[in-house]
C-alpha cells in the first residue's frame, strides 16, 4: 500500500477547513469568515479564519496550519524525543456562541512527523455548555461513539476517559465541560496501520458539523436573560483558565514560535472573573454538579 504523505494529509486538512467554514456560515446565516494567511519564519504557515458578530456565533475560528523546521528544545524535552526536524499540520476550531444556552465547541485534528521517521495523529472533539442539558449531552456523546465504533469497540470508552482527564481544570476541581473524545500520539504501535489511523481521524473530523448542528438545534433561538449572560461570561472565564494554564496545544504553538493571534483565537470575546461567584439558580447549581469526570452521558 502506498504510504500516506504529509502533503496529502495537509491538503485534506485544507479542504476540511473550507468545508467546515462553508457549513458554519450557512448555519450562522449572518456573518462570514475573514481569512488571514500567515508565514512562519522557520518554515510553513497557515490560514486563520475568524467569524465575528454572527447571529449564532459571537466569535469563532477555524484555523489550518502546516509548519516545519528544527524541533525546539522545549518540545524535544517535553515529548522525550531525539533531535530531528519536525512537520506538523492540522485544523483547530473553537466557537463561542451569542446565546448562553448554546454551548462552546472545540475540535482539533492534527498530524505530526519527524525527519527520523517518528509520526503520530492526535485530536478530538469536546463540548462546553454554559448550561448542561442531559439530553443534549447524551446526543453529542452518541455522535462520537457512533464514529468511534466504526473503527474499534474500545475507542469511545478509551478516548472519552482520556478527554475527561485532559479537559480537567485542576485548580477548580471541575471539568471544562461535558468532555467528548481526546487522543494523542496514536500511531502503529497498537497494531493499526497509518492508513487505519488516518481514516479514523478523518471520520472524527467529519463528525464535527453533524454533532454541532444537533447541539445547537432548539437552543440557538431560545430566549435568554441578563442573568444568563452573566453566567455565560463566568463560564467563559473558566474556559480561558484551562486554555492558558493547562492546554498542551496552546503551549506547543507558543513554544514552536507559532502565530500568537492564531493560537489565542480560542479565547472568547468577553469573559468575567467575579470574586467568589456563586450560582444564581438551580440550573446553574446543577450544571456545576455535573462538571466531573466519569459520567456515562449516553446512559444517564
Helices 134-149 and 155-166 pack at an angle, to 10 degrees, of: 130
106 catalytic? Reply is: yes
List, in sequence order, every residue forming a beta bridge with 113; answer none if it has no partner: 87, 119
Could you say which DSSP state residue 56 is in? S
Q: Percent helix, strand and coil across the chain, each rounded to 5?
A: 40, 25, 35
CA distance 28 to 51: 10
Phi, psi torsion values for 298, nearest 5 degrees:
-65, -35
Alpha helices in the chain (DSSP H): 6-28, 73-79, 134-149, 155-166, 194-216, 226-245, 248-255, 260-263, 282-289
Cell 455565560 belongs to: 232
Q: Spot the catalytic one: 96, 106, 130, 141.
A: 106
**Distance (Å) of CA 11 to CA 22, 65, 149, 186:** 17, 11, 26, 20
CA atoms within 13 A of residue 34's CA, in its CB half-sphere: 9
List, in sequence order, every residue forming a beta bridge with 102; answer none if it has no partner: none
Q: For residue 256, which of 50, 49, 107, 76 has the smallest C-alpha distance?
A: 76
Cell 444568563 belongs to: 228
Helix or strand or coil: residue 268? coil
Catalytic residues: 106
Amino acid at each position: 500500500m502506498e504510504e500516506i504523505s504529509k502533503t496529502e494529509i495537509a491538503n485534506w486538512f485544507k479542504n476540511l477547513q473550507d468545508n467546515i467554514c462553508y457549513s458554519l456560515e450557512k448555519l450562522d446565516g449572518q456573518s462570514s469568515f475573514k481569512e488571514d494567511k500567515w508565514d512562519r519564519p522557520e518554515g510553513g504557515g497557515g490560514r486563520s479564519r475568524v467569524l465575528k458578530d454572527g447571529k449564532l456565533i459571537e466569535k469563532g475560528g477555524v484555523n489550518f496550519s502546516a509548519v516545519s523546521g528544527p524541533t525546539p528544545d522545549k518540545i524535544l524535552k517535553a515529548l522525550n524525543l531525539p533531535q530531528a526536524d519536525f512537520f506538523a499540520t492540522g485544523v483547530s476550531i473553537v466557537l463561542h456562541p451569542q446565546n448562553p444556552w448554546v454551548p462552546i465547541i472545540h475540535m482539533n485534528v492534527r498530524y505530526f512527523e519527524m525527519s527520523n521517521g517518528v509520526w503520530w495523529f492526535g485530536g478530538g472533539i469536546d463540548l462546553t455548555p454554559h448550561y448542561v442539558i442531559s439530553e443534549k449531552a447524551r446526543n453529542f456523546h452518541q455522535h462520537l461513539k457512533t464514529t468511534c465504533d466504526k473503527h474499534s469497540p474500545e475507542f469511545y470508552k478509551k478516548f472519552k476517559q482520556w478527554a475527561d482527564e485532559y479537559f480537567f481544570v485542576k485548580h477548580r476541581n471541575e471539568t471544562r465541560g461535558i468532555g467528548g473524545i481526546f487522543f494523542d500520539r496514536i500511531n502503529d504501535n497498537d497494531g493499526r496501520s497509518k492508513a487505519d489511523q488516518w481514516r479514523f481521524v478523518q471520520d472524527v473530523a467529519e463528525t464535527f458539523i453533524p454533532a454541532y448542528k444537533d447541539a445547537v438545534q432548539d437552543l440557538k433561538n431560545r430566549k435568554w436573560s441578563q442573568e444568563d449572560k452573566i453566567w455565560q461570561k463566568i463560564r467563559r472565564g473558566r474556559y480561558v483558565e484551562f486554555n492558558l494554564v493547562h492546554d498542551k496545544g496552546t503551549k506547543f504553538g507558543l513554544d514552536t514560535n507559532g502565530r500568537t493571534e492564531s493560537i489565542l483565537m480560542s479565547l472568547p470575546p468577553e469573559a468575567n472573573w467575579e470574586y467568589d461567584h456563586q450560582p444564581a439558580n438551580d440550573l446553574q447549581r446543577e450544571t456545576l454538579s455535573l462538571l466531573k469526570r466519569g459520567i456515562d452521558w449516553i446512559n444517564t
